[in-house]
């Protein structure tokens, strides 16, 4: 059974974390991700499958599994708690406005005919009524989702990774992940190479490695251009939710 469960609402940032903890084969990782997307609507089946697929591990090893949708799935806290209440939880979060645009950009790449971001974001744009039933918006209500987890897990059992700092200071952010997991701090600045073309850090298997591994092309693609006024409206919308989230977590993610 997993002793760590990783969820991201940062659309995909968890992949970076997993890569840094356990350097899986990239192709395998992308296949697994597609598989996950298909299964998201069938959480029960998915969970049972995951459970039986868990590799056997030794006492000294950590089993880590990642699923983006856990954090925002109502039944997930209870199910994970009933399965293994000591599981440590890691959630990668990012500015919910950027997250929504990233989410939309990803969907648009698969379904080019969907309505505009602006159209999907509001029930009534003139009145500033944001459509919280749209998943891309709903997922960013982190404080709300967290409430469900705190009914089952103590705050100290959940670690939040800043998606922004994971890019600007991967070693520092991963240092905190290692501390949370009770691991010796193994990854240092020397394990990361900043790929200026991609604009993202890539991981070296060893400090001396000459071949850093970057995430796939679907990670870090250019976002769709959004009307700046809409961005401001969404920022305003998320502000109180973000503040509540910072207070609950005890950490300021500086999205304001």
Ligand X SMILES: Nc1ncnc2c1ncn2[C@@H]1O[C@H](COP(=O)(O)OS(=O)(=O)O)[C@@H](OP(=O)(O)O)[C@H]1O
- Beta carbon of residue 12, minimum distance to ligand X (angstroms, whole number): 1
Nearer to ligand X, 104 or 237 (CB): 104
Q: Which residues contact 166 (CB under 8 A, 6 or more apart)?
A: 13, 16, 17, 92, 173, 174
Q: Measured between alpha carbons, how far is residue 207 from residues 21, 149, 172, 182, 210 in Å? A: 14, 37, 16, 22, 9
Nearer to ligand X, 5 or 106 (CB): 106
- Beta carbon of residue 80, minimum distance to ligand X (angstroms, whole number): 19
Nearer to ligand X, 98 or 242 (CB): 98
Q: Measured between alpha carbons, how far is residue 178 from residues 10, 69, 73, 116, 185 in Å? A: 20, 23, 26, 40, 6
- Beta carbon of residue 86, minimum distance to ligand X (angstroms, whole number): 25
Shortest CA distance to 63 belongs to which of 29, 26, 18, 16?
18
Give the nearest residue (CB) to ligand X: 12
How large is the angle between the packed helices 13-21 and 170-180, nearest 10 degrees? 70
234/131 Cα distance (integer angstroms): 10
DSSP 3-state assignment of 162? strand
117/149 Cα distance (integer angstroms): 29
- Beta carbon of residue 156, minimum distance to ligand X (angstroms, whole number): 25
- Beta carbon of residue 209, minimum distance to ligand X (angstroms, whole number): 16
How large is the angle between the packed helices 43-53 and 26-39, nearest 10 degrees? 150
The backbone torsions φ and ψ at residue 221, rounded to the nearest 5 degrees and listed phi first, read -85, 165
- Beta carbon of residue 81, minimum distance to ligand X (angstroms, whole number): 23
Nearer to ligand X, 120 or 243 (CB): 120
Nearer to ligand X, 7 or 233 (CB): 7
Q: Are strands 158-162 and 88-93 parallel, antiparallel or unpaired?
A: parallel
Question: Can you give the binding site for ligand X, defined by CB under 6 A?
Answer: 8, 11-16, 33, 68, 102, 106, 166-167, 200-201, 214-215, 218-221
- Beta carbon of residue 133, minimum distance to ligand X (angstroms, whole number): 21
Nearer to ligand X, 71 or 122 (CB): 71
Nearer to ligand X, 12 or 77 (CB): 12
């Amino acid at each position: 059974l997993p002793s760590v469960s990783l969820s991201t609402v940062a659309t995909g940032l968890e992949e970076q974390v997993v890569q840094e903890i356990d350097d899986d084969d990239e192709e395998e990782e992308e296949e697994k991700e597609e598989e996950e997307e298909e299964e998201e609507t069938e959480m029960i089946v998915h969970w049972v499958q995951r459970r039986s697929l868990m590799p056997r591990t030794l006492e000294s090893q950590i089993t880590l599994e990642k699923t983006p949708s856990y954090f925002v799935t109502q039944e997930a806290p209870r199910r994970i708690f009933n399965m293994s209440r000591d599981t440590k939880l890691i959630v990668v979060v990012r500015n919910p406005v950027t997250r929504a645009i990233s989410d939309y950009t990803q969907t648009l790449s698969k379904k080019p005919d969907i309505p505009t971001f602006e159209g999907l974001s509001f029930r009534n744009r003139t009145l500033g009524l944001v459509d919280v039933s749209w998943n891309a918006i709903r997922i960013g209500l982190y404080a709300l989702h967290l409430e469900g987890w705190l009914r089952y897990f103590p705050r100290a059992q959940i670690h939040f990774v800043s998606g922004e700092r994971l890019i600007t200071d991967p070693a520092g952010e991963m240092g905190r992940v290692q501390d949370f997991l009770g691991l010796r701090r193994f990854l240092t600045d020397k394990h990361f190479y900043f790929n200026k073309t991609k604009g993202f850090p890539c991981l070296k298997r060893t400090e001396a490695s000459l071949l850093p591994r970057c995430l796939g092309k679907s990670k870090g693609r250019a976002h769709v251009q959004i009307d700046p006024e809409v961005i401001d409206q969404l920022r305003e919308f998320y502000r109180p939710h973000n503040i509540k989230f910072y207070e609950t977590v005890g950490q300021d993610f500086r999205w304001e």
